[in-house]
Amino acid sequence: MMVEVGALAPDFTLSDYDKQPVSLSSFRGTRHVLLVFYPFAFSGTCTGELCRVRDELAEYEREAVQVLGVSVDTPFSLKAWAKEQGYQFPLLSDFWPHGSVARSYGVFNEKSGMANRGTFLVDRSGVVRYAEVNGPGEPRDQGAWKKAVAALP
């Protein structure tokens, strides 16, 4: 079941592409968090979506929003992808236990063993203010994220 708007976001700790732990709760009280679940590094739609986030990162940073990308890829593949694409925000590995964080947000695709395209905006207090899930092959409307960010207190 997908985490709904108004619910407390499930906390987690995952390794980034440098194998450093990143916890959602570490941003509580200081920054909002945009969680961007995506199927796989190096895939076409995912690359396009995250490159747009990369290109617009300053807009999120001005609004005190930390972007976190999450997939079931290994930290090694995430590091190579981040380097290739110039991503300056953390990409987190939900590799093992396989997809456990994606499952807690209701975006794990059991049939394919990957995360669906889930987007969650979590405010500074840890409450979900925006939630959207797109299935495989369905790109996201990133304009909706920006409206949700603009509506944050």
Flag whether pLDDT at 137 surpasses 90: no
Q: Is 137 helix (H, G, I), strand (E, B) or coil?
A: coil
pTM, to two decimals: 0.96
In Å, what is the CA distance from 90 to each residue of 7, 36, 64, 86, 128? 24, 11, 15, 11, 20
Alpha helices (H) along the chain? 44-55, 57-62, 75-85, 100-104, 142-150
So what's the pLDDT on residue 66? 98
So what's the pLDDT on residue 153? 86
- CATH code of the region 13-150: 3.40.30.10
Contact assessment for residue 97 and residue 106, using Cβ atoms and an 8 Å cutoff? no
Name the average pLDDT for the chain. Answer: 96
Residue 27 identity: F
Residue 6 identity: G
So what's the pLDDT on residue 63? 95
Residue 46 known to be catalytic: yes
State the catalytic residue, choosing from 46, 65, 78, 114: 46
pLDDT digits (tens, 9 = 90+) for 28-49: 999 999 999 999 999 888 999 9
Residue boundaries of the structural domains of the chain: 13-150
Q: Which pLDDT band holds residue 135 (cuts at 50, 70, 90)?
A: confident
Flag whether pLDDT at 76 surpasses 90: yes
Flag whether pLDDT at 138 surpasses 90: no
Flag whether pLDDT at 78 surpasses 90: yes
Q: Which pLDDT band holds residue 69 (cuts at 50, 70, 90)?
A: very high
Q: Which pLDDT band holds residue 141 (cuts at 50, 70, 90)?
A: confident
> Looking at per-residue confidence, does 77 or 138 come out higher?
77
Contact assessment for residue 81 and residue 91, using Cβ atoms and an 8 Å cutoff? yes
